[in-house]
């Protein structure tokens, strides 16, 4: 019987062999990420009496959730983290200008295949796009890892997702993921290591794979995984990863998967998650024509360079509908710079978009809040009630193509009906 | 009459007005941001609530809380949107930009107009030659919205005259900040300020913009720059703009003028009987031009003392010794930091003094109307600044003036040889 990726990755990280799903091991993560809430970890460290750090080079901090600071309280939190990083010599400190933690770490070559990476953000599953085992943990777990270097984990069972492609024009990886979450529900993959397989997955860019692994969290995944290949190596080299230390891991051909789910992407239509749960998914035809007040193109799920490029394609030469706000928040500073150099930023602004600084932005409730009764169509990964402002407002989730097409018409619009 | 008086006289239907007069004038534009629009519209609807007679004069720009950081602010924006739609006023939604830039760039504040607004920086529109004044929400709701009018007490004029050039590394913004310090916060309460002088005239529109915008900090009622060719060319680039309302002041003498300028001078003396030669030169610059050398002022002087006599047939020979001091003057060009520290801590200098002494020799060649000269100088600098920590990346320089220390600077020598043709 062959081994799954999750077993192999945890054997590597724990130094143990012969692991099986269900076992509990002490694993040594390669990277501990904490975001704007780093101050909580520091406060915990203070309660522990300032013990020595296990390995400061494995610590990464990104001030992404409320950046720049919206209040003096948050400015104080930022300063605490900033000064702590400086005092401790933590070189992987990324300030409020950098962008969303996940994207920034991958862009800086800090995420490598086979790595075990923990983060204070549930969407840490995204690191599977580069063949790493990424998972979200709590603040105190991160602090414990700072000090002990390790974290206990239960070896997860694995689930195989087989996607048949290619996708029709106007349909994107986001639609595949919404369809999957709708099909298996928000707890359909709870504590599973979710692996994406098939020719279509292999054909995807690393950025598109990020969307798959990011959204897998919304089905409950412990981690998500796309087998690393030549595209992965290209991305790593391009982003300055230390290639000498790259040891890709993948499931053996005869590894056991507790469940296999197949999705036929060839006949898929754009999907929408309707309020107030991510697994409340319907085909776009069910909700087309729903009036929107705000369209948000942002988040670690869908505000990468290619997402902005797709949006710009639908917005080129068009203007945002009167009364609709289009808020665009690039995922990282590098993405924003590239989009600016390529004219994408100009296209977006000329169409009437409100372009904000990179970061989590409205997805994390910072800027772009909604008033009572308002509706936002968002490319983010969560539509929970009250997440973006009023408890009496609604969030719909979609691909960037649907978002851009809808911003122009002012109602939820099928991008396949728009000429680009 | 000056520009403000002319605008107020025209808008109140009078032939002339004088400082101290109270007039009721027609207002061309009312501009509000998201916070004040919310409060003003509330007062208006509670107390008056009729149709707006001039809805096109009322402009709202969402710039303070965009995108709304809280649910409450999101509600405020929605109430503003709803009010603006209902009353037919013009709205610039989230992402349009800062209230004043949006107003100016859309041709909604033009020369000769009266612009009122709820933001304290509204006087910035005086840059284009408008009379721009910040009023309160109740004034807007009580007189501007229902009648298109507001009352004004005609302000006294203070002229601020700036001359001189910028030092390297200095921008008009530095001059503006320095000016606030020189004049003092709240020093010209309810005055009208006219910014003038060669320095202002040579600035482009958006650099001029930096001066009227600070009038609120000085306590002024309004501020302006006389419209000129720069203004005309700028206004032509604005959508739907017109120069029809443009007025200029008559240039009457102003009682209160504050001048900020350079002073330079030199004198020399040759006493033939005793062959004595003496020469002195000196200069003074105000602090604005001393930035980034962050001192109150800069000055230089040198004196030369020697003998001058016709020893050779060709013309007079002059020999002199020279002594000079340059205090915060031209240091940017001559500063020399010790070679083992190649980072020049620009912008961290606080106080510099360079002393020089030297010898000079001049020989006139009368037949050719030529003066040959040679000078040798020794310079001894004393430069103080904020200490920088160079072993950190990024480099950290202190910002506390009490912690300044002497920076390493080497002395140097200079030799000048040249010729002057006299004609």
Chain B nearest C-alpha distance from A270 (Å): 28
Chain B nearest C-alpha distance from A210 (Å): 27
Chain A nearest C-alpha distance from B235 (Å): 23
Which single residue is written with the structure tokens 């003396």? B269
Q: Do B66 and A354 touch (CB under 8 A)?
A: yes
Q: What is the pTM of this model?
A: 0.77
Phi/psi of residue B15, nearest 5 degrees: -75, -40
Q: Do A70 and B77 touch (CB under 8 A)?
A: no
DSSP code at position A219: G
Contact residues, A window 280-309, toward B, CB-based 8 Å cutoff: none
Contact present, B102 and B63 (Cβ < 8 Å)? yes
Q: What is the structure's pLDDT at B270?
A: 75
> Smallest Cβ distance to B93: which of A325, A355, A389?
A325
Residue A356 has pLDDT above 90, yes or no: yes
At B27, which CATH number? 3.30.499.10
DSSP for A226-245, written as a single string = ----HHHHHHHHHTT--GGG
Q: What crossing angle do the helices spanning A333-341 and A305-315 adopt, rounded to 10°?
A: 40
Which single residue is written with the structure tokens 């309020």? A275
Task: Report the SS3 class of residue B207.
Answer: helix
Query: Tens place of pLDDT for every residue, chain B, 423 residues?
Result: 999 999 999 999 999 999 999 999 999 999 999 999 999 999 999 999 999 999 999 999 999 987 888 889 999 999 999 999 999 999 999 889 999 999 999 999 999 999 999 999 999 999 999 999 999 999 999 999 999 999 999 999 999 999 877 766 678 998 898 889 888 888 999 999 999 999 999 999 999 999 999 999 999 999 999 999 999 999 999 998 899 999 999 999 999 998 887 666 777 777 777 789 998 888 877 655 544 444 556 788 889 999 998 888 898 899 999 999 988 765 544 343 444 444 444 445 567 788 899 999 999 998 889 999 999 999 888 777 665 555 554 455 555 556 666 766 778 888 999 998 877
Chain A nearest C-alpha distance from B28 (Å): 26
Burial class (CB in 10 A: 0-12, 13-18, 19+), A110: buried
Residue A67 has pLDDT above 50, yes or no: yes
Which of B200, B228, B258 corresponds to the end of one domain?
Answer: B258
Tell me the percentage of chain A whose pLDDT exceeds 90: 97
Name the token pair of A403.
Answer: 């978002």
Q: How far apart are the C-alpha atoms of A119 and A137, rounded to whole Å?
A: 6
Buried b (16+ CB within 10 A) or exposed e, B369-385: eebbeebebebebebbb
Contact present, B163 and B199 (Cβ < 8 Å)? yes
Residue A364 has pLDDT above 80, yes or no: yes
The residue among A362, A367, A387, A391 with the most chain B CBs within 10 A of its CB, best to mutate, is: A367
Number of Cβ atoms within 10 Å of the Cβ of B80: 24
> Smallest Cβ distance to B69: which of A355, A366, A371?
A366
Please check whether residues B60 and B78 belong to one and the same domain.
yes
Q: Do A367 and B73 touch (CB under 8 A)?
A: no
Contact present, A137 and A118 (Cβ < 8 Å)? yes
Name the token pair of B143.
Answer: 């007189």
Give the model confidence (pLDDT) of A250-262 as tens digits.
Answer: 999 999 999 999 9
Phi/psi of residue B102, nearest 5 degrees: -65, -45
Interface contact B90, partner A, CB < 8 A: no
| CATH architecture type of domain A5-245+252-263 | 2-Layer Sandwich (3.30)
Interface contact A87, partner B, CB < 8 A: no
Chain B nearest C-alpha distance from A310 (Å): 21
**Nearest chain A residue to B72, by CA:** A371
Please check whether residues B227 and B278 belong to one and the same domain.
no
Bridge-based pairing state of the strands B114-117 and B29-33: parallel
Q: Do A369 and B74 touch (CB under 8 A)?
A: yes
Give the model confidence (pLDDT) of A157-168 as tens digits.
Answer: 999 999 999 999
Interface contact A124, partner B, CB < 8 A: no
Contact pairs from chain A to chain B, CB under 8 Å? 52
Q: Do B95 and A353 touch (CB under 8 A)?
A: yes
Chain B nearest C-alpha distance from A356 (Å): 9
Residues 6 or more apart from B326 whose CB is under 8 A from it? B300, B352, B353, B354, B355, B356
Q: What is the structure's pLDDT at B408?
A: 66
Q: How far apart are the C-alpha atoms of B181 and A285, rounded to whole Å?
A: 64
Task: Report the SS3 class of residue B321.
Answer: strand
Q: What is the structure's pLDDT at B93?
A: 92
Buried b (16+ CB within 10 A) or exposed e, B150-182: bebebbbbbbbbbbbebbeebebebbbbbbeeb
Q: How far apart are the C-alpha atoms of A249 and A9, rounded to whole Å?
A: 7
Residue A341 has pLDDT above 60, yes or no: yes
H-only helix segments in B134-255? 137-139, 145-147, 172-183, 198-201, 205-208, 215-218, 229-236
Which of B258, B293, B316 corresponds to the end of one domain?
Answer: B258
Please check whether residues B252 and B271 belong to one and the same domain.
no
Bridge-based pairing state of the strands B276-286 and B263-271: antiparallel
Please check whether residues B393 and B378 belong to one and the same domain.
yes
Chain A nearest C-alpha distance from B93 (Å): 8
Q: How far apart are the C-alpha atoms of B158 and B190, rounded to whole Å?
A: 10
Long-range pairs of A368-371 with CB within 8 A, sequence gap ≥ 24: A368/A294, A368/A296, A368/A325, A368/A327, A368/A329, A368/B67, A368/B68, A369/B67, A369/B68, A369/B69, A369/B70, A369/B71, A369/B73, A369/B74, A370/A293, A370/A294, A370/B71, A370/B74, A371/B68, A371/B71, A371/B74, A371/B75, A371/B77, A371/B78
**Nearest chain B residue to A367, by CA:** B69
Q: Do B67 and A355 touch (CB under 8 A)?
A: no
Q: How far apart are the C-alpha atoms of B359 and B321, rounded to whole Å?
A: 5
Number of Cβ atoms within 10 Å of the Cβ of B190: 12
Average pLDDT over residues A390-412: 97
Q: Do B67 and A362 touch (CB under 8 A)?
A: yes
Which of B258, B293, B327 corresponds to the end of one domain?
Answer: B258
Range of the domain at B95: 3-258
Q: What is the structure's pLDDT at B275?
A: 86
User: Would you kindly state where each structural domain of chain A is located, as residue ranges?
Assistant: 5-245+252-263, 272-417
Name the token pair of B372.
Answer: 């040959």
Q: Do A353 and B74 touch (CB under 8 A)?
A: no
Q: What is the structure's pLDDT at B386?
A: 60
Contact present, A332 and A338 (Cβ < 8 Å)? no
Residues 6 or more apart from B41 whose CB is under 8 A from it? B79, B80, B83, B87, B141
Please check whether residues B398 and B368 belong to one and the same domain.
yes
Name the token pair of B195.
Answer: 């910014």
Q: Do B78 and A323 touch (CB under 8 A)?
A: no
Please check whether residues B96 and B139 belong to one and the same domain.
yes
Interface contact B95, partner A, CB < 8 A: yes
Using alpha carbons only, what angle is made at residue B357 by residues B354 and B360, rounded to the nearest 5 degrees? Answer: 135
Interface contact A376, partner B, CB < 8 A: no
Please check whether residues B14 and B31 belong to one and the same domain.
yes
Q: How far apart are the C-alpha atoms of A398 and A403, rounded to whole Å?
A: 6
Our separate counts of H helices and E strands in chain A read: 14, 18
Q: What is the structure's pLDDT at A329?
A: 97
CA distances from A376 to A394, A414, B34 (A): 6, 16, 21
Residues in A touching B71 (Cβ below 8 Å): 369-372, 389-390
CATH class of A272-417: alpha beta
Average pLDDT along chain A: 96
Residues 6 or more apart from A11 whose CB is under 8 A from it? A3, A17, A18, A19
Please check whether residues B254 and B288 belong to one and the same domain.
no
Q: How far apart are the C-alpha atoms of B227 and B221, rounded to whole Å?
A: 19
Q: What is the structure's pLDDT at B267?
A: 79
> Smallest Cβ distance to A371: which of B66, B75, B94?
B75
- What ipTM score was computed for the predicted complex, to two decimals? 0.71
Residues in A touching B67 (Cβ below 8 Å): 325, 327, 354, 356, 362, 367-369
Domain total in chain B: 2
Please check whether residues B44 and B172 belong to one and the same domain.
yes
Residues in B touching A390 (Cβ below 8 Å): 71, 74-75
């Amino acid at each position: 019987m062959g081994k799954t990726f999750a077993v192999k990755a945890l054997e590597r990280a724990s130094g143990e062999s012969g692991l099986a799903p269900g076992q509990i091991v002490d694993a040594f993560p390669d990277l501990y990420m904490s975001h704007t809430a780093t101050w909580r970890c520091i406060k915990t460290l203070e309660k522990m009496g300032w013990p020595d750090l296990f390995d400061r080079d494995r610590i990464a901090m990104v001030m992404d959730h409320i950046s720049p600071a919206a209040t003096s309280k948050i400015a104080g939190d930022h300063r605490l983290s900033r000064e702590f990083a400086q005092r401790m010599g933590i070189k992987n400190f990324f300030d409020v200008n950098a962008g969303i933690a996940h994207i920034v770490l991958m862009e800086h070559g800090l995420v490598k295949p086979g790595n075990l990476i923990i983060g204070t953000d549930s969407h840490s599953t995204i690191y599977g796009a580069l063949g790493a085992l990424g998972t979200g943990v709590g603040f105190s777990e991160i602090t414990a890892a700072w000090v002990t270097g390790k974290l206990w984990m239960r070896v997860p069972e694995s689930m195989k997702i087989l996607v048949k492609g290619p996708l029709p024009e106007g349909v994107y990886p986001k639609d595949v993921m919404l369809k999957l979450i709708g099909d298996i529900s928000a707890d359909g993959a709870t504590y599973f290591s979710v692996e994406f397989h098939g020719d279509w997955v292999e054909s995807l860019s690393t950025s598109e794979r990020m969307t798959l692994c990011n959204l897998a969290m919304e089905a409950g995944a412990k981690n998500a995984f796309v087998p690393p290949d030549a595209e992965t190596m290209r991305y790593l080299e391009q982003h300055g990863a230390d290639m000498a230390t790259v040891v890709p891991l993948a499931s053996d051909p005869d590894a056991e998967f507790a469940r296999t789910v197949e999705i036929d992407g060839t006949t898929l239509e754009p999907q929408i998650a309707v309020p107030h749960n991510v697994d409340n998914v319907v085909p776009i035809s069910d909700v087309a024509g729903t009036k929107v007040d705000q369209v948000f193109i942002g988040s670690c799920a869908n505000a990468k360079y290619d997402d902005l490029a797709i949006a710009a394609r639908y917005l080129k030469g068009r203007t945002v509908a009167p009364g609709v706000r289009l808020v665009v928040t690039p995922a990282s500073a590098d993405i924003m710079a590239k989009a600016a150099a390529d004219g994408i930023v100009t296209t977006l602004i000329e169409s009437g978009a409100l372009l904000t600084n990179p970061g989590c932005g409205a997805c994390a409730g910072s800027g772009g809040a909604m008033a009572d009764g308002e509706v936002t169509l968002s490319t983010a990964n969560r539509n929970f009630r009250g997440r973006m402002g009023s408890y009496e407002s609604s969030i719909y989730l979609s691909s960037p193509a649907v978002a851009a097409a809808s911003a122009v018409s002012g109602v939820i619009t099928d991008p396949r009906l728009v000429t680009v | 009459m000056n520009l403000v008086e002319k605008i107020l006289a025209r808008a109140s239907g009078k032939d002339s007005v004088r400082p101290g007069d109270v007039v009721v004038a027609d207002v061309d534009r009312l501009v509000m941001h998201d916070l004040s629009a919310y409060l003003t519209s509330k007062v208006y609807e509670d107390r008056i609530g009729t149709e707006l007679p001039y809805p096109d004069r009322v402009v709202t720009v969402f710039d303070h809380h965009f995108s709304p950081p809280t649910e409450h602010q999101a509600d405020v924006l929605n109430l503003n949107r709803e009010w603006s739609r209902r009353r037919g006023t013009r709205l610039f939604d989230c992402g349009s930009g800062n209230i004043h830039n949006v107003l100016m760039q859309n041709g909604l504040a033009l020369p000769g107009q009266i612009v009122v607004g709820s933001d304290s920086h509204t006087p910035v529109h005086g840059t284009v030659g408008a009379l721009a004044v910040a009023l309160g929400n109740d004034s807007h709701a009580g007189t501007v919205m229902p009648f298109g009018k507001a009352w004004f007490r005609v302000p006294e004029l203070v002229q601020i005259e700036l001359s001189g050039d910028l030092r390297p590394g200095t921008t008009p913004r530095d001059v503006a900040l320095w000016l606030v310090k020189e004049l003092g916060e709240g020093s010209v309460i309810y005055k009208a300020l006219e910014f003038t002088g060669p320095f202002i005239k040579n600035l482009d529109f958006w650099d001029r913009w930096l001066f009227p915008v600070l009038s609120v900090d000085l306590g002024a009622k309004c501020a302006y720059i006389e419209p000129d060719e720069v203004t005309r060319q700028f206004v032509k680039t604005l959508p739907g703009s017109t120069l029809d309302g443009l007025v200029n002041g008559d240039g009457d003498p102003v009682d209160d003028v504050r001048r900020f300028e350079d002073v330079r001078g030199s004198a020399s003396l040759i006493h033939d009987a005793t062959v004595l030669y003496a020469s002195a030169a000196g200069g003074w610059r105000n602090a604005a031009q001393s930035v980034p050398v962050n001192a109150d002022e800069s000055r230089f002087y040198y004196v030369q003392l020697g003998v001058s006599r016709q020893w050779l047939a060709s013309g007079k020979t002059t020999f002199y010794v020279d002594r000079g001091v340059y205090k915060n003057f031209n240091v940017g060009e001559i500063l020399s930091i010790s070679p083992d520290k190649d980072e020049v801590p620009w912008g961290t200098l606080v106080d510099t003094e360079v002393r020089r002494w030297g010898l000079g020799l001049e020989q006139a060649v009368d037949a050719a109307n030529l003066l040959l000269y040679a000078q040798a100088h020794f310079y001894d600098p004393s430069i103080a600044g904020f200490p920088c920590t160079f072993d950190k990346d990024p480099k950290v320089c202190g910002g506390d003036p009490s912690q300044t220390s002497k920076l390493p600077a080497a002395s140097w020598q200079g030799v000048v040889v040249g010729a002057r043709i006299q004609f």
